[in-house]
């Protein structure tokens, strides 16, 4: 029988995508308190991933009264198993987690700030590469709301036609919530940003000109730029229109779910003998 990974091995893999931030919550958000628990040796049979602690999350990590609501634990009927699977849970926004409902052996990992920075639509090298950007030659947009260290985006060169690029975005996120047409079908620069106001749009133009990615004679200056973000904002849309820039907004919730799906993919690849389940806030979970 193939050896099961441990809490420490799964934790290290997840933390490798989430660089520590001084103002972030602890990755080890809820640690089992019983005396026999050992982070280095505790086995993992199942990993639950969710943005928030939904009812389905409690059914997977909760005590017997939570699991009894569905009659299931993990992927098997509870009547056919002596115990629920050894489980780790990861949450992006764990703040409403009721720790009293978590089974005593379950480890809950969490990341809020670092997850937002690295696994949504911001400084996300893995996503940027899927759009054909060379991360090594891209620029990091850094500094937001008084936090000079906070990464809020990546700006990089591409050479794409708008139609196929929008199809790639839809493939990654399932849909585009809102789009604003620009002045060109040729996209030479993508700004992936998790903030969207006139100031951020101006910053993208300034950075593009600083690197000579946007020629001064290219008027309107943003005609070959696509601004990819989560929520549409009026000031950002107005500024983008002024520059002739194309905008694609996928929605804040969908952007967060992309990060959950990415972590799930990496876990399945690294630990094929572990059941990995993504929980959605609407209660639906894809087949795994």
Residue 286 has pLDDT above 50, yes or no: no
Per-residue model confidence (pLDDT) at position 96: 96
Q: Give 191-213 pLDDT, tens digit per residue.
A: 999 999 999 999 999 999 999 99
CA–CA gap between residue 217 and residue 275 (Å, rounded): 55
Q: Give 123-179 pLDDT, tens digit per residue.
A: 999 999 999 999 999 999 999 988 888 999 999 999 999 999 999 999 999 999 999
Per-residue model confidence (pLDDT) at position 67: 59
Q: What counts of helices (H) and strands (E) characterise the chain?
A: 9, 13
Average pLDDT over residues 96-116: 96
Per-residue model confidence (pLDDT) at position 81: 55
pLDDT band per the 50, 70, 90 thresholds, residue 288: very low
pLDDT band per the 50, 70, 90 thresholds, residue 1: low
Phi-psi region of 150 (alpha: psi -120 to 50; beta: other; left: phi over 0): beta
Residue 277 has pLDDT above 60, yes or no: yes
Query: Phi/psi of residue 125, each to 5°?
Result: -60, -40
Per-residue model confidence (pLDDT) at position 68: 56
Average pLDDT over residues 47-51: 98
Q: Give 13-40 pLDDT, tens digit per residue.
A: 999 999 998 889 999 999 998 889 999 9
HEC assignment per residue over 11-58: HHHHHCCCCCCCCCCCCEEECCCCCCCCCCCCECCEEEEECCCCHHHH
Using a pLDDT cut of 70, give the percent of the chain over it: 92
Q: Give 55-105 pLDDT, tens digit per residue.
A: 999 999 998 776 555 555 445 444 445 789 999 999 999 999 999 999 999
Per-residue model confidence (pLDDT) at position 219: 87
Per-residue model confidence (pLDDT) at position 146: 86
3-state helix, strand, coil in the chain (%, to 5): 35, 25, 40
Which pair of tokens denotes residue 76?
Answer: 């098997």
> Do strands 46-50 and 275-279 pair parallel, antiparallel, or not at all (unpaired)?
parallel
**All structural domains of the chain:** 7-115+257-279 (3.40.1390), 122-249 (3.40.1390.30)
Mean pLDDT, the chain, integer: 91
């Amino acid at each position: 029988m193939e050896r099961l990974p441990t809490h420490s091995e799964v934790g290290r893999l997840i933390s490798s995508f989430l660089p520590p931030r001084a103002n972030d919550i602890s990755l080890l958000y809820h640690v089992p308190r019983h005396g026999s628990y050992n982070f280095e040796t505790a086995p993992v049979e199942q990993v639950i991933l969710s943005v928030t602690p939904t009812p389905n999350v409690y059914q997977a990590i909760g005590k017997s009264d939570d699991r009894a609501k569905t009659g299931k634990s993990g992927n098997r009927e509870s009547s056919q198993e002596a115990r629920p699977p050894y489980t780790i849970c990861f949450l992006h926004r764990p703040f409403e987690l009721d720790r009293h409902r978590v089974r005593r052996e379950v480890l809950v990992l969490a990341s809020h700030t670092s997850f937002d920075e690295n696994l949504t639509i911001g400084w996300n090298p893995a996503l940027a590469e899927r759009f054909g950007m060379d991360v090594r030659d891209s620029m990091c947009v850094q500094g937001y709301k008084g936090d000079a260290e906070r990464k809020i985006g990546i700006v990089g060169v591409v050479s794409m036609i708008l139609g196929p690029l929008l199809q790639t975005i839809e493939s990654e996120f399932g849909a585009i919530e809102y789009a604003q047409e620009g002045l060109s079908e040729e996209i030479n620069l993508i700004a992936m940003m998790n903030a969207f106001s006139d100031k951020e749009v101006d910053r993208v133009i300034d950075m593009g000109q600083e690197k000579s990615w946007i020629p001064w004679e290219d008027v309107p200056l943003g005609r070959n730029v696509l601004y990819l973000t989560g929520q549409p904002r009026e000031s950002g849309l107005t500024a983008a229109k002024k520059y002739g820039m194309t905008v694609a907004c996928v929605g804040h919730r969908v952007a967060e779910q992309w990060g959950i799906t990415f972590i799930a993919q990496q876990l399945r690849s690294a630990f094929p003998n572990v059941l990995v389940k993504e929980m959605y806030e609407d209660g639906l979970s894809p087949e795994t």
